[in-house]
Structure 1
Amino acid sequence: MLNAAEVSMDQAAEDDAERARNRAKLYAPPGRIRRGRGGRLTGPPGSGMGRAQAQALAAQVAAEDARLAKGRTG
């Protein structure tokens, strides 16, 4: 889908500089996303999931997976 948008934008561009600007705009991260230390993409504070939340979610997924696997074999 991005390729079709890129081709369309390239055809409408008048010169190479405009094509480069269009490509940079097309592939730029969303407005609230920035590059942090080491080039990592970061969002606004409070928008992510902490380690404890991620581990709790992984445990819930594992428990649900085990429950569903037990139902298939039992």
Structure 2
Amino acid sequence: MLAAAEASMDAAAQDDGERARNRAKLYAPPTSAQGPRRPGARPAGRGMSLDQAQALMAAVATEDAQVTGGRNG
């Protein structure tokens, strides 16, 4: 099916540049799969805030201290 679409787009194109642009659009991943548009941006609902990360680190340190019995190394 892609081959038929590519052939019809190539037939309608007026030059090689237009054919290359059409081919790039045809085979580009879907917009939803490209990820965030801004550098450093992350999708909503993913990751954790700084406060959540610090709380998690404190909980892990507390659990680690309990398991090791206060021993280091």
- The structure whose Rg is larger is 2
TM-score normalised by length of structure 2: 0.47
Q: Which has the higher strand share?
A: 1
